[in-house]
Amino acid sequence: MSQKYLIFHADDLGTQYGGNEGIFEAAANGFLTSTSIRANGVAFEDACKRVIPACPQLGLGVHICLNEGNVIAPPHLVPLLADKAAHFLTIGAMGFVRLAFSGANKELRKQVEIEMRYQIEAIKNALRYYGNLDHIDGHQHIHAIPWVFKILLKLAQEYNIPFIRIPYEPLVYQIFKIHLPKLINFGHYWNLQLYSQIDKRNMEKTNMKSNTCFFGLLHTNQMTENVVISLLENIKQKEGIIEFLFHPAKIVQEPHYLEKYLEDFYLSPNREKELKSCCSQKVRDAISIFNYELTNYKNLQLI
């Protein structure tokens, strides 16, 4: 693949209302090309009824969530994942770690498949007018845990979803001169780079497709205009499908949050800076200068 395909993607559609507003503006007034929707978000209905119909140019994927909010499956079907009130038993980083080290538990694997199936079905049922979803990714990249990824390979083929994100992010040392990533991001980064190599090998056994590389993990919530332009310049020799991850948002009054500990992230002014990156003329000029073709997984499945 000699072409340089660039996907500007936003996770977390449907998670909260400020995120919906940011994704809508980045698509309507900027050049966001792709998003993924989270079935258990508090603003899921708003995303399905308002944002997606207003942004038909966006590619749309499934944002699997296994460590925050409520399960979609009936709680009695997934008692190893959720309590009787349907809340995930372990959330955030602890939820990620628990799943990462629980792959030997056959009953848990079965329940994770049930929950992911329910999430995909919920999205497809809410968006019957939309057509096929184009990819799968995961909240905090939880989908990349190798045993979870293997289940998703099966589900993606069953539901005719052609791409799954692999969060392989080559190190670009030059960017550290502009913005040094948070230390907490490095730990998650190294785990995901190991998982990415395993996931690639498992994907090669199927007819599924993925991105070539990915940026926005080390600089989560820090994809400012300067960071994005520097990344575009320093990876200009790379070819294939390159995904940039953003979390654009407008800071609005939220009726409630899924998890109290995430309020700082939901209300972070950096999310408005990432929205600005998706609408920046300087970023658009850099995309043109370095000969990237802006696209999404929906368009790439036709190639």
Chain-centroid distance of CA 7 in Å reads: 12
d(C-alpha 203, C-alpha 259), whole Å: 33
SS3 category, 202 = helix
- The mean pLDDT of 39-44, rounded to a whole number, is 95
CATH value at residue 227: 3.20.20.370
pTM: 0.95
| Tokens representing residue 299 in the block | 């368009």
- DSSP secondary structure string for all residues of 92-127: HHHHHHHHHT-TT-HHHHHHHHHHHHHHHHHHHHHT
Percentage of residues in the chain having pLDDT higher than 70: 97
d(C-alpha 159, C-alpha 146), whole Å: 20
| Confidence grade of residue 301 (pLDDT, cut at 50, 70, 90) | confident
d(C-alpha 297, C-alpha 135), whole Å: 7
d(C-alpha 283, C-alpha 289), whole Å: 10
pLDDT score, position 295: 98
Contacting residues for 184 by C-beta, under 8 A, at least 6 apart: none
Calculate helix-pair angle for 146-158, 106-126, nearest 10 degrees.
Answer: 40
**Structural contact between residues 200 and 208, judged by C-beta atoms closer than 8 angstroms:** no
Number of domains in the chain: 1
- pLDDT tens-digit map of 61-83: 999 999 999 999 999 999 999 99
Distances, alpha carbon 211 to alpha carbons 6, 12, 150, 190, 237, in Å: 10, 19, 17, 18, 16
d(C-alpha 166, C-alpha 300), whole Å: 16
Contacting residues for 139 by C-beta, under 8 A, at least 6 apart: 11, 12, 38, 63, 64, 65, 66, 67, 68
Question: Does the pLDDT at position 239 exceed 90?
Answer: yes
- Using alpha carbons only, how large is the chain's radius of gyration in Å? 18
- The mean pLDDT of 240-260, rounded to a whole number, is 83
Boundaries of domain holding 215: 4-300
pLDDT score, position 174: 76
Distances, alpha carbon 123 to alpha carbons 22, 183, 269, in Å: 20, 35, 29
**Structural contact between residues 255 and 42, judged by C-beta atoms closer than 8 angstroms:** yes
- pLDDT tens-digit map of 126-155: 998 888 899 999 999 999 999 999 999 999
